[in-house]
Amino acid sequence: MQNIDKTIGQNIRILRNKSGFSQEELGKRCGVTFQQIQKYEKGLNKVSASRLLMLAEILNCKFEDFFIEEEDRLIEISSLYASEDQAKFNTNIIDPLDTSKEEYIEKIIKLLRSVNDHKKIKKIYNIIHAFIN
């Protein structure tokens, strides 16, 4: 289990990007500077419970979404966007020892090509971008 402040921060970043907010926009909505949002996202500053409740309302998510561990987030993302006939994709994410990096990239590209909704593609991109950065 990683540091809880880092977990919360990573989830704030993921949920902020998913909602389409910049750090500055989110900061204005919850009454803090964008620098404070940066510190939250990096896990440098602790986020109070009342601030988390405010963020949950602004980001249209559940309070507990801020506590999802990295591995659980990957499984959640894959199940959100995979169609029924692509359910096998979820099990491939769980066991990285059986698959090379290139095979994962090919599977991800194949899965993304099967998504017809432009908004879903944008959300997936934002989530992946937030996860990597």
Residue 32 has pLDDT above 60, yes or no: yes
- d(C-alpha 53, C-alpha 48), whole Å: 9
Query: Domain check: are 89 and 126 in the same one?
Result: no
Range of the domain at 30: 1-95
What is the average pLDDT score of the chain?
Answer: 80
Q: Which helix (H) or strand (E) holds 92?
A: helix 88-94
Those residues whose C-beta lies under 8 Å from the C-beta of residue 25, and which sit 6 or more positions away, are none
Q: How confident is the model at residue 85 (pLDDT cuts 50, 70, 90)?
A: very low
Residue 111 has pLDDT above 90, yes or no: no
Quick one: 89 and 46 in the same domain? yes
Region 95-115: mean pLDDT is 75
- Which residue in 104, 109, 131 sits closest to 121, CA to CA? 109
Q: Say if residue 29 is in the same domain as residue 16.
A: yes
Spatial distance between the Cα atoms of 29 and 56, rounded to a whole number of angstroms: 12
Is the overall model pTM greater than 0.75, yes or no? Answer: no
Residues 86, 116, single domain; the answer is no
CATH code of the domain in which 44 resides: 1.10.260.40
What average pLDDT does the segment 90-97 reach? 49
What domain count does the chain have?
Answer: 2
